[in-house]
Amino acid sequence: MYKQKKTIANSNWIKILGGIFFQISFISTFSQDRLTKEDSTLPASQRNGKITAQWYDRAVFSGKGDGPQKENVLWYRTSAKVWEEALPIGNGKLGAMIFGGVTDERIQLNESTLWDGFAQDASNPNALKALPEVRRLLFENKNNEAVELAGKTMMGNPSRIKPYQSLGELWFDMPLANAENYVRSLDLSTAIATVQYRLKDATYTRESFADAASNVMVVRFTASNKGSIGFNLRLRRAKDANCVPVADDNQALLLSGQVSVKDSTGKQRGVRFAAEVKAVAEGGTVEVKDGVLSVHEATSVTLYITAATNYPGLLQLAKGVQTSNIDPEKECNKTLRKAITVPYAQLKSQHIKDYQRYFNRVAINLGKVADTLKTLSTDERLAQARVNGKADNDLIATYFQYGRYLLISSSQPGGMPANLQGLWAWQMNPPWNADFHTNINVQMNYWPAEITNLSEMHLPLFDLSNALVKPGEKTARTEYGARGWVVHHLTDAWGFTAPADGPQGIWPMGAAWLAQDPWEHYCFTGDRKFLSSTAYPLMKGAALFMLDFLVKAPEGTACAGKLVTNPSYSPENEFVLPNGKVSVFTYGATMDLEIIHDLLTHCIEASKILNVDADFRKQCTETLQQLAPIRISKTTGRIMEWAEDYKETDPHHRHTSHLFGLYPGNQITVNGTPELAEAARKTLEARGDNGTGWSLAWKINMWNRLQDGDHAYKLLSVLLTTKTLPNLFDNHPPFQIDGNFGAAAAIAEMFLQSQQQTTNGSYVVQLLPALPHAFETGAVKGLGTRGGFVVDMEWANGKLVTATFTSKLGGELNVQLGDKTVKFSTMKGESVRLDGELKKVTSQN
């Protein structure tokens, strides 16, 4: 993340919270930046009308509700007080945060395509003319002169992007209640959020889910006593929208508007959007009056909610189409009219079935759950973890499955990829715009996609990459005179590819890193058609840019005669020059070289598989041979972050960019490059065992690759006890979802890795390569490997008991456990079961 914005965020933290201790309250910066002094005794419909961070549920909670006695559930004994305590639901397009209020309920809504801004070419035509001089200055160690010149000539125009925005909020006020034995929960196995409590002699239940097939969010209120449900409901947004009754329907509200943004001619260019809520009651009455939907004396009420925008879509943007004729209001009306014809039970069943075909692929068990833990709510278990300094194993298993849940809920085929907050953002201007940060964050979002058997969820990222190719090609030509496509350190829904935010945004490695993901998708799925039509074109385009961008370092420089990047930047770090001044620009940053090595290596392999582009393959091979190598500092024994062995301004910096080759790359390995692996270990030790949420997740993965499960577990404990919010969202701070995804991938790689290859190119499946002592006994089912295998395994006392490999593709199966390796030939669909000694178990046994 961009350091300057982090500083602003931290400043707001201090200013707004006024000393409230974050570890106790878990209220983030951005949950308080619109806190108002409303009278909490008033119902929502009578307050000042502003959407606020703090929600005042006037209900009194009594008794002690018992949570669901099953695995994969988050549950709590009071309603959420702030957004970071609310529970997320989503179908990849529609998202909501459910607060679970009793007297006052708040449901915050998102629609994945509701972005500020519009498509425009931000490439700077002055950049190409200045590029040779910027390079000369950097090679002559005039770093800050280069920074100054680049800042004046190479930044995008505009040099900022617009944010992803909240759709709006539903506000309910209901009778003042003394809620007995209250429980709100999120069942990860069904993707249904539930609220239940007793009020006098009645039991009230509320279920909420987001169905992907119908693109409808459903909230159903039921009560054990007839005619006992009543509430007032408002639908509103902080800006750019109006809420009106739906024509010819006195049981529905329509929110519609247009994001207020104009182009240079003054023309309004913002996205048009709409959201509609429709109430269907059993018994009682429903009416809309003065902008309030009211329900009286109903036995059950089902709310159907949908939303739409006129965003053209990533597939259209990839074709150069930047506008759309979609009418959001008509889309909403059509969607709801169809949804309400389906009985609730059928809609719920359809939702569960569709969701579980993804979620049920993987199961995890990390040992027996103590009876004392079963009685603790999720926030109580987090509090206990903070006291103990580590989370219990069952909470870790839930956290792992929560990461998978969030990916399914925020990234569905045909939709938008998960952004910095996944799908869920309550502000008009969320932290770091809730954009797609391409210098690690959006890539980290997809680290669990393949290994946790959610390959389909990976597809939206490739759609985004394809949408970036055309604007990225223009930026490559305009700013660098290069072929191929380029993306810098961030992008948005509109295809922004130019440098942004400041000179540190002149980091043209985003496309090259994004090109790793389609290759990984091919490695896990073996989808040759995808490799040919999607992966290879993206990879080749990114590689063509790099082939043109690389320059030979002149005599007298640290990498003389070798190919390096220039200008170069190691996200988002600074260093001290020999004259004592601080700078960010250099040439040949180690991360650049590792990303390029990764990209060119994969291009060579892909071109061989497809039997195409022999000349291009040769150029990639020759470039690899001339690429500056990873270097080890003679003074510290660590991996050098820059071409020069500069002193760091922040030795514990959150980014560990120069270890890309360890993870997510595979250039540094314990067995293949032991000297580099040892230098990487020293680098991680020096960086320390703390960090932001996502930074910890990255380092956990790196310790896994070094096969040090106990150290990985130590950092996982830090993540869960210091950087996890009450609803298990990752806390940068503030909330960023990448830490959830990165940690889910890390937990999986403790049990299974498959990045190493044999001499013939087959992948080696490593069992329990980084198993912590804390996970002495357990089982996982359904994890994926490169080469197309699905693995189930059990272990006890730290040793493998059995492992079963099901081949999706057929081919060679190489299995490694400790120092022992075995090999088998498999047919597509065949399963191979091995015992703890890697001996094949026949059906007769």
> What is 309-373 written as a DSSP string?
E----HHHHHTT-------HHHHHHHHHHHHTTS-HHHHHHHHHHHHHHHHTT-EEE-SPPPHHH
Angstrom distance (rounded) from CA 341 to CA 278? 12
Q: What are the helix (H) ranges across 627-753?
A: 674-687, 693-705, 709-722, 738-751
CA of 552: how far to CAs of 547, 558, 562, 587, in Å?
Answer: 11, 11, 5, 11
Cβ-Cβ contacts under 8 Å for 649 (sequence gap 6 or more): 573, 574, 575, 576, 582
The CATH number given to 127-157+412-418+435-624 is 1.50.10.10
Residue type present at position 471:
P
What is the C-alpha separation between 756 and 670, in angstroms, rounded?
Answer: 10
Topology annotation, domain 40-116+162-360: Beta-galactosidase; Chain A, domain 5 (2.70.98)
What does DSSP assign to residue 532? I
| pLDDT of the residue at 54 | 57
pLDDT at 640: 97
Inter-helix orientation angle 393-410/738-751, to 10°? 120
CATH 1.50.10.10 residue ranges of the chain are 127-157+412-418+435-624
Residues in the chain: 845
Q: Is the Cβ–Cβ distance between 273 and 267 less than 8 Å?
A: no
Comparing C-alpha atoms, which of 534, 442, 431 is closest to residue 488? 442
Burial class (CB in 10 A: 0-12, 13-18, 19+), 41: exposed
Bridge-based pairing state of the strands 60-62 and 178-187? parallel
**CB 20: neighbour CB atoms within 10 A?**
12
- The SS3 of residue 478 is helix
CB 127 within 8 A of CB 501: no
* Distance from C-alpha of 100 to C-alpha of 392, rounded to nearest angstrom: 26
Domain boundaries for CATH 2.70.98.50 within the chain: 40-116+162-360
**Residue 464, amino acid:** L
- The CA-to-CA distance between both ends of the chain, in Å, stands at 54
How far apart (Å, rounded) are the C-alpha atoms in residues 461 and 449? 11
**H-helix or E-strand spanning residue 826:** strand 820-826
CB 52 within 8 A of CB 170: no
How far is the C-alpha of 573 from the C-alpha of 590, rounded, in Å?
12
Query: How far apart are the C-alpha atoms of 230 and 233, rounded to whole Å?
Result: 10
pLDDT of residue 772: 98
Tokens of 796: 């006890």
Residues near 571 by beta carbon (within 8 Å), at least 6 away in sequence: 439, 440, 489, 504, 507, 591, 655, 657
* Burial state string for 256-265 with b = 16 or more CB within 10 A and e = fewer than 16: bbbbebeeee
Q: Determine the 3-state secondary structure of 279 from DSSP.
A: strand
User: Please, what are the averages of pLDDT over each run of 10 residues along the chain (845 residues)?
Assistant: 36 32 30 33 43 71 92 96 96 98 96 97 97 98 96 96 97 92 98 96 96 98 96 96 94 97 92 98 95 96 98 96 95 97 97 98 94 92 95 97 98 98 96 96 98 98 98 98 98 98 94 98 98 98 98 96 97 93 95 98 98 98 98 96 93 94 98 97 96 96 98 98 97 96 98 96 97 97 98 97 98 97 97 97 68
Q: Which residues share a beta bridge with 563?
A: 552, 627
Torsion of CA 784, 785, 789, 791, to 10 degrees: -60
pLDDT of residue 371: 87
DSSP strand pairing (229-236 vs 241-246): unpaired
DSSP 840: B
Task: Kindly report the pTM of this predicted structure.
Answer: 0.94
Q: Give how far the C-alpha of residue 258 lies from the chain's centroid of Cα atoms, to the nearest Å.
A: 27
pLDDT number for residue 843: 67
Which candidate, 80, 755, 726, places its Cα nearest to that of 402?
A: 726
